[in-house]
Amino acid sequence: MKIGIVCYPTFGGSGVVATELGKALAKEGHQIHFITYSQPTRLDFFNQNLFYHEVDIKSYPLFEHAPYELALASKMVNVVKYEGLDLLHVHYAIPHASAAYMAKQILKEQGIYIPVMTTLHGTDITLVGKDPSYEPVVTFSINQSDAVTAVSEDLRKSTFEHFDIRKRIDVIPNFIDLERFKRQKKEHFKLAICPHGEKLLVHTSNFRKVKRVEDVIKVFYELRKKIPAKLLLVGDGPERDKMERLCRELGTCDDVRFLGKLEAVEEVLSVCDLFVMPSEKESFGLAALEAMACEVPVLSSDVGGIPELNINGETGFTCKVGDVKEMTKRALEILDEKNLPGFKARALARAKEFDVSVILPLYEALYHQTIEESKQFVFER
Ligand code: GMT
């Protein structure tokens, strides 16, 4: 199949899923065309089936904001037409689904029917999408998609709750490449950070408010009163400065390291004992899956799709949002040497259920079905 993939190319779950999906499909022999405003961060290898089309956003003094959606729709039209795509797969509804709708209408005028699949990732529904400033367009463009997927059962439910959706939504969860994400031997690194055998906690995110990084630091502060421990914070974003200030206030700076954005996050995860994800909203929790694949148990909140991944009491614990006391208690329980090996083994076993080899065929099947169904609309090409 020839598939066009539209996504946010920067660090962030939806872009990572879209890029990894494209790479995996290319390895299977499908021709994949990425359409984005810059080279996707994870599009870092060569394959003869992978193509990249940059959206050219022209500015003009009159525009306070350059009309990205129009430039994207125009690029989609050209790529579909000149590369002969079979399907457009857009990740994150805003503004990709509505840009795809526009491209589809333009192509229809030219006698080309291009089916569109929209994958909902989370904040495009639970945070930004349901805001009145976007809701009508999001509802419309989801309903106009030929196929719609959500990354968890919870996100599927929220979409029906918040929007007037008349389409079927299939759940296709996030996935992981276990060849890349696996525990590596990095003892020297562990020894450098934890020279006295301290337990090592880790959090990775884009440091947005919704991630509640302050709870990670507070849990760590409480936990450190009971056991020797260190904390690694991976990623960067709007909350970073505030979090550094919080560490200074709590006097934890010596035991907390801010590592910034890292490419090889699996190397860091390989030496960690506990992953902390106290998010206020989280449609799936790809970062937690990455940790589990590296045999790291997860202490998380119980919101959104997280409980579909992190099984309470087995692969870690799920606690109420903001309940630092309970989280600290559960962290101590996981880190207890009697319990830790079991949690690690079960985290890995659970991650294996989301291996790319398990999830990729679900996307392929839905592509086939959507392309087949759209043939009734085909005029001439
Ligand atoms: O986590 C983020 O804020 C980034 C966001 C994105 O769209 O880039 O991630 C969302 O999509 C990921 C991939 O499907 C999910 O694993 C994350 O749970 C989801 N984030 C939220 O719902 C907050």
Measured from the CA of 284, which atom of ligand 1 is nearest? 18
Q: Is residue 268 located within the same domain as residue 346?
A: yes
What residues make up the domain containing 259? 187-352
Q: How many independent structural domains does the chain possess?
A: 2
What integer pLDDT is reported at residue 379 of this predicted model? 57
Residue 145 near ligand 1, beta carbon < 6 Å: no
Longest dimension (CA), the chain: 71
Measured from the CA of 208, which atom of ligand 1 is nearest? 3
Residue 32 near ligand 1, beta carbon < 6 Å: no
Q: Is residue 369 located within the same domain as residue 299?
A: no
Other Cβ atoms within 10 Å of 227 Cβ, number = 12
Residue 17 near ligand 1, beta carbon < 6 Å: yes
Distance (angstroms) between ligand 1 centre and the Cα of 174 equals: 10
Q: Is residue 162 located within the same domain as residue 206?
A: no
Q: Is residue 105 located within the same domain as residue 248?
A: no
Identify the CATH number of the domain in which residue 341 sits. Answer: 3.40.50.2000
Per the domain annotation, does 182 fall within a domain? no
Sheet holding 169-171, edge to edge: 50-54, 31-36, 2-6, 87-91, 116-120, 147-150, 169-171
Per the domain annotation, does 282 fall within a domain? yes
Enter the tokens of residue 73. 């729709």
What integer pLDDT is reported at residue 61 of this predicted model? 85
Kindly give the confidence (pLDDT) of every residue in the chain, 381 residues in length, as a single tens digit, with 9 standing for 90 and above.
Answer: 999 999 999 768 999 999 999 999 999 999 999 999 998 887 877 889 999 999 999 888 888 888 999 999 999 999 999 999 999 999 999 999 999 999 999 999 999 999 999 999 998 888 887 888 999 999 999 999 999 999 999 999 999 999 999 999 999 999 999 999 999 988 899 999 999 999 999 999 999 999 999 999 999 999 999 999 999 999 999 999 999 999 999 999 999 999 999 888 999 999 999 999 999 999 999 999 999 999 999 999 999 999 999 999 999 999 999 999 999 999 999 999 999 999 999 999 999 999 999 999 999 999 999 999 988 876 544
Distance (angstroms) between ligand 1 centre and the Cα of 122 equals: 6
Contact between 289 and 354 under an 8 Å Cβ cutoff? The reply is: yes
Q: Is residue 325 located within the same domain as residue 363?
A: no
Q: What is the pTM of this model?
A: 0.94
Looking at residue 340, its amino acid is L
Residue 301 near ligand 1, beta carbon < 6 Å: no
Distance (angstroms) between ligand 1 centre and the Cα of 12 equals: 7
What is the rounded CA–CA span in Å between residue 377 and residue 109?
13
Per the domain annotation, does 331 fall within a domain? yes
Residue 235 near ligand 1, beta carbon < 6 Å: no
Measured from the CA of 174, which atom of ligand 1 is nearest? 14
Per the domain annotation, does 180 fall within a domain? no
What is the rounded CA–CA span in Å between residue 138 and residue 207?
25
Least Cα distance to 146 among 376, 361, 305, 380 occurs for: 376
Q: How many CA atoms lie within 13 A of 230 on its CB side?
A: 20
Tell me if the bond preceding 195 is cis, omega within 30° of 0: no
Enter the tokens of residue 343. 């949690």
Q: Is residue 335 located within the same domain as residue 200?
A: yes
Q: Is residue 78 located within the same domain as residue 59?
A: yes
Q: Is residue 140 located within the same domain as residue 114?
A: yes
Q: Is residue 210 located within the same domain as residue 337?
A: yes
What integer pLDDT is reported at residue 58 of this predicted model? 87
Question: Which residues in 40-146 belong to E strands, given as ranges?
Answer: 50-54, 87-91, 116-120
Residue 282 near ligand 1, beta carbon < 6 Å: yes
Sheet holding 316-319, edge to edge: 256-260, 229-234, 199-204, 274-277, 298-301, 316-319
Contact between 103 and 76 under an 8 Å Cβ cutoff? The reply is: yes
Per the domain annotation, does 181 fall within a domain? no
Per the domain annotation, does 248 fall within a domain? yes
Atom 12 of ligand 1, nearest CA residue: 13
Residue 122 near ligand 1, beta carbon < 6 Å: yes
